[in-house]
Chain A
Amino acid sequence: MSEQALFIHSDAFFRYRFHDDHPFNNQRLELTLDLIRSLNLLKDHHLYEPTAATDKELYLTHDREYVEVVKTAHEGTIPESRLLEFGLSTEDNPVFDGMHDIAALITGGTLTAVKQVMSGARPHALNLSGGLHHALRAKASGFCVYNDASVAIAYLREKYDARVMYIDTDAHHGDGVQWSFYGDPDVMTVSIHETGRYLFPGTGNVYERGHDAGFGACINIPVDAFTEDDSWMEAFERVIPSAIRKFQPDIILSQHGCDAHHYDPLTHLSATIRIYREMPRLLHEWAHEWCDGRWVAVGGGGYDIWRVVPRAWTYLWAEMSDQPLGEVDIPAAWRKRWQRESPVELPHTLHDPEGIVEPIPRREEITQKNRTVVDQVLQYL
């Protein structure tokens, strides 16, 4: 049974790294891979090497001019002002050596996942380095250079004419993917995220519902700051199945940014690891119920790389590969290996113990507010 899923991986993914002090740090992939291996969840037959996206594939959603700039940015010949026009050389997206090659490989990873699933080789495939959902047609944004999910979805549309359901559970709105397919009735984008009222990228309002023929094929569930597990899961479970039933997708592509966790330094939600165990479980079930199992998953944001990302994504892989995990201890060897480098105490269990989030007085109000948002979303479905 565990030969159900592919784990797309190349050690080169670790090199998608802007600089040592940058919050987007793909050392998190190393930590995750090591934790997955420590729990004996990864066999040779799971692993699959990605092929880099070709220029032509990148052009499915990116401008040629932008791709050219990304390719040559590190040479130092492009004036700073021009780089800034393309969202590069900012504090969020500084230029780094080999930026194009590694970003194209990550995009290729998601494309490889999609191709493997569509060819019927395996029903599920995971690319944890993907999920760079903020990148725009001609602009780097929010740590994202190329939008792997957008490219893969555009490929699915062009090559297979597939109806694609994109489900984004990152704490930030999945704006890049949304805008790529805002007018396309055959791509439904659903994003659940912390309200854009205060958080980057500021969009993702309930009223953003697509335009022209694509109207209605875009769903946004903005939840309030300090939202906790129960309210998040309630929103997720009330909206997604209805959306899937209405849209009838051929394949689900889900984005698994895990920055809604209470520990994440860049967002203001109060979720725990529990949601990162439950969401994959449900997505897995729905993929089998509605898409003959066709399910591609990608990573995304996650800036507490020591305590949150490895555990969240281990649960995701365990679920995808039919080796679901309950509440288990983290192998002592893993903790020992990484504790020296970690500035925080590494957790002892894969799940979060009770009580990591201090009770907030506004819980009832936040829950009610989120419920109102969901009611509104459901009116459209």
Chain B
Amino acid sequence: MLVEEIMHRIVHTVEPELSIREAFQVARQHRIRHLPVVKEGRLVGIITDRDLGHALLHMVDDEPAAEALAHPVSEVMRREIITAHPLDFVEEAARLLYQHNIGCLPVVHGERLTGILTRKDVFKTLIEMFGVHQPSQHVEVEVADKIGVLAEVSRIFSQHKTNIHRVMVYPGRQPGRLKLVFRVQAINMLGALRDIVSAGHRVLWPPLPPDAGKPGECHE
């Protein structure tokens, strides 16, 4: 998934000359926290409501609050900006947000600011990626980390005419092992699970009934 698919295209920005007081108002009016600072269409800085607050705290030591609020945004904005490109992968954007411990990424194409992405947007996408929107059940399988293993387990679900609608792959508990997490559209997975076990994999969830190794025995 690409950044441009989930970014906000309407970006509320401020100009560097705008006063801190007015910048606060823009943030409050649109109920946003991050304000890119733009001069002639070019991104020159970024400011958050928290940065504004901190800057003010220092300024009011030396001057009355009313005067402090009149200073231009350019005096307190951050000039080193970490940005994303519209064609970056969402996971890359997530890594940037996490590594730099920042709350948003202005999305820049050439010189132009084309969008903005916040932690919340990435979070929302992650939730969709885990996905519990359609009726489905969670299955966890531990497998050896080798070529074709995902295909092998997936094929078992397909042989049981069971649709998989999400897959995630995590590192296993030991090196050389992987944990596959499937969300499959099925209430009954006993048949598929038995075959997964027979193929030599470990089913971590759901717990298998004691007689699951003996096909058919529990219901006939």
Enumerate chain A interface residues (CB-CB to B < 8 A).
20-25, 84, 89-92, 94, 134, 136, 141-143, 172, 175, 196-203, 265-266, 268, 303-305, 343-344
Please give the distance in Å from A205's CB to the nearest CB on chain B.
8
Whole-angstrom CA separation of A90 from B164 in the bound complex? 12
Q: Does B64 contact A (CB under 8 A)?
A: no
Interchain CB contact under 8 A, B218 and A91: no
Q: Does B162 contact A (CB under 8 A)?
A: yes
Interchain CB contact under 8 A, A201 and B187: yes
Interchain CB contact under 8 A, B190 and A199: no
Interchain CB contact under 8 A, A172 and B138: no
Whole-angstrom CA separation of A266 from B162 in the bound complex? 16
Interchain CB contact under 8 A, A343 and B135: no
Interchain CB contact under 8 A, A202 and B187: no
Interchain CB contact under 8 A, B162 and A303: no
Please give the distance in Å from A264's CB to the nearest CB on chain B.
8
Interchain CB contact under 8 A, B186 and A199: no
Enumerate chain B interface residues (CB-CB to A < 8 A).
132, 134-138, 160-163, 183, 185-188, 190-192, 205-207, 209, 211-212, 216-220
Whole-angstrom CA separation of A48 from B211 in the bound complex? 39
- Within the complex, which residue of B132, B135, B138, B212 is in contact with A142, where a contact is CB–CB below 8 Å? B135
Interchain CB contact under 8 A, B220 and A201: no
Interchain CB contact under 8 A, B138 and A197: yes
- Within the complex, which residue of B135, B206, B219 is in contact with A202, where a contact is CB–CB below 8 Å? B135
Interchain CB contact under 8 A, A172 and B162: no
Interchain CB contact under 8 A, A265 and B219: yes
Interchain CB contact under 8 A, A90 and B135: no
Please give the distance in Å from B136's CB to the nearest CB on chain A.
5
A198-B206, A265-B209 known; A305 vs B188 contact (CB < 8 Å): no
Set of chain A residues within 8 Å of B185, measured between Cβ atoms:
90, 92, 141
Whole-angstrom CA separation of A303 from B138 in the bound complex? 19
Please give the distance in Å from B46's CB to the nearest CB on chain A.
33
Please give the distance in Å from A115's CB to the nearest CB on chain B.
30
| Pairs across A and B, CB under 8 Å, 30 listed | A21-B220, A22-B188, A23-B190, A90-B161, A90-B186, A91-B162, A92-B185, A92-B186, A92-B187, A92-B188, A134-B187, A142-B135, A142-B187, A143-B188, A198-B205, A199-B206, A200-B136, A200-B137, A201-B187, A202-B132, A202-B134, A202-B137, A203-B135, A265-B209, A265-B212, A268-B206, A303-B219, A305-B219, A343-B220, A344-B218
- Within the complex, which residue of A20, A23, A84, A198 is in contact with B188, where a contact is CB–CB below 8 Å? A23
Whole-angstrom CA separation of A202 from B181 in the bound complex? 14
Interchain CB contact under 8 A, A91 and B186: yes
Whole-angstrom CA separation of A25 from B211 in the bound complex? 18
Task: Across the A-B interface, give the 9 residue pairs with the lowest CB-CB distance, nearest first.
Answer: A201-B135, A200-B137, A142-B187, A202-B132, A265-B209, A200-B187, A91-B160, A91-B161, A198-B138
Set of chain B residues within 8 Å of A303, measured between Cβ atoms:
218-219
